[in-house]
Amino acid sequence: MAEPIRVVVTGAAGQIAYSLLYSIAKGDVFGKDQPIILILLDIPPMLPVLEGVVMELQDCALPLLREVIPTDKVEVGFKDIDAAILVGSMPRKEGMERKDLLKANVAIFKTQGSALDKYAKKTVKVLVVGNPANTNCLIASKSAPSIPKENFSCLTRLDHNRASSQVAMRCGVSSDNVKNVIIWGNHSSTQYPDVHHAKVTVQGSEMGAYEVVKDDAWLRGDFISTVQLRGAAVIKARKLSSAMSAAKAICDHMRDIWFGTKEGEFISMGVYAAGNTYGIPEDLIYSFPIQIKNKTWKMVDGLPINDFSRAKMDATAAELVEERDTALDFLGQ
């Protein structure tokens, strides 16, 4: 058996974590022969709830789960970890300005970034889920200068999966017959779900998504807004934010980091934009098409970008620049 790896999940008493922890502990993410020590980090008022989560994980009787450590202390939470899934963040409350939300989260992710810097392995892979995910990820990375920037990413896989599924349903195929959709930019309603490079397999033959869908107005209109606003639609219906689908996307994202993407396929994730060939400002965490091999990601370069796409890619970049500048002001205070 391999040595156990240490995985921390923050916001571990919350509803996304509740859908996520079982999949991790059972081996769906890091492999069926990889023992795991699971560290559950949350704020002090949530510790009693966390005890219940620990009991349930014990009661699952999972052979790969070697130990579960509940804690409210970052020095315990981030000690020698191999993977960090940062789900916990300050949620936006009624009447709260986006600025106030940013300020609260800068404080959280500065603390967690510094703790990663001080206590985690330098090879740690950090996935930021808590919103605003791109900017929180940037702040965490800037607060952990000794950990390579490439080790930080934020979750846009949920948007990616939403886009794939919309195309699949429209074409009457299963979702594994759709590949290479792209989410560009921010995990917000300005994100740009792009299917110009996507492929759909119908009755054994692979074709471009535009060719199969045969409805450009839908692909440039309702398809985009459905994906952009899907999170809000789920909240409206469930009175709670996406949890099952968010947890599944986190598993997909981390599994791909660990085991790589399939040959000829790319996925979407928010990564450090330095060196990109798409004219996106460099000091941002921005979602790009990504391929992964040997736990190292690279951007898919050289995809032709038309004027329609260009405008949408620039609009979401502009929002990220504004968010970043506001957040960096708070960071400097």
Annotated binding site: 42, 92, 98, 105, 129-131, 162
Tokens (6 digits) for 50? 């966390």
Q: How far apart are CA 263 and CA 257, in angstroms?
A: 14
DSSP 176: G
Helix (H) or strand (E) holding 30: none
Give the number of C-alpha atoms closer than 13 A to the C-alpha of residue 325, restricted to the C-beta side.
Answer: 7
Binding-site residues for NAD(+): 42, 105, 129-131
Torsion of CA 152, 158, 163, 167, to 10 degrees: 130
Q: Give me the sign of the Cα torsion angle 316, 317, 321, 323.
A: positive
Binding-site residues for substrate: 92, 98, 131, 162
Dihedrals φ, ψ of 92, to 5°?
-75, 125
Which one of 160, 187, 197, 253 is the catalytic residue? 187
Q: Has 160 been annotated as catalytic?
A: no
- 12 in Cβ contact with 24 (< 8 Å): no
User: Of the candidates 159, 148, 185, which has an alpha carbon nearest to the alpha carbon of residue 278?
Assistant: 185
Tokens (6 digits) for 66? 């070697």
Residue 70, beta-bridge partner list: 40
- 218 in Cβ contact with 169 (< 8 Å): no
- 36-41 vs 192-194, strand pairing mode: unpaired
Residues identified as active-site: 187
